Amino acid sequence: MHITIRQLQVFEAVSRRLSFTRAAEELHLTQPAVSMQVKQMESSVGLPMFEQIGKKIYLTQAGDAMLLHARTIMQHLEAAAEEMNDLRGEDSGRLRVAIASTVNYFATQLLADFARENPAVEISLDVTNRELLLSRLEANVPDLALMGKPPADMDLVSESFMDNPLIMIAAPDHPLANNKQIPLSDLPEAHFVVREPGSGTRVAMERFFADQDFSYQKSMELMGNEAVKQGVEAGLGLAVVSAHTVAQELTLKRLVKLDVVGMPIMRRWYVAHRKGKRLSPTAQSFRRFVLEAGARGTS
- Tens-digit pLDDT profile for residues 51-91: 999 889 999 999 999 999 998 898 888 878 777 776 565 55
pLDDT of residue 152: 85
Among 108, 119, 92, smallest CA distance to 284 is for 92
> Cβ(270)–Cβ(279) under 8 Å?
no
| Mean pLDDT score across all residues of the chain | 89
166-219 confidence digits (pLDDT tens) = 999 999 999 999 999 999 988 878 899 999 887 888 999 999 999 999 988 888
- The whole-number pLDDT of residue 86 equals 64
- The full set of domains in the chain, from first to last, is 5-86 (1.10.10.10), 90-162+269-298 (3.40.190.10), 163-267 (3.40.190.290)
* Stated pTM of the model: 0.65
pLDDT at 299: 36
Report which residue type is found at 120.
A
CA distances from 275 to 70, 75, 193, 281 (A): 18, 12, 36, 17
Residue pair 126/98 in contact (Cβ under 8 Å)? The answer is yes
What is the spatial distance between Cα 238 and Cα 64, in angstroms, rounded to a whole number? 42
Q: Which pLDDT score, from 0 to 100, does residue 167 have?
A: 96
User: For residues 107 and 230, is the Cβ–Cβ distance under 8 A?
Assistant: no
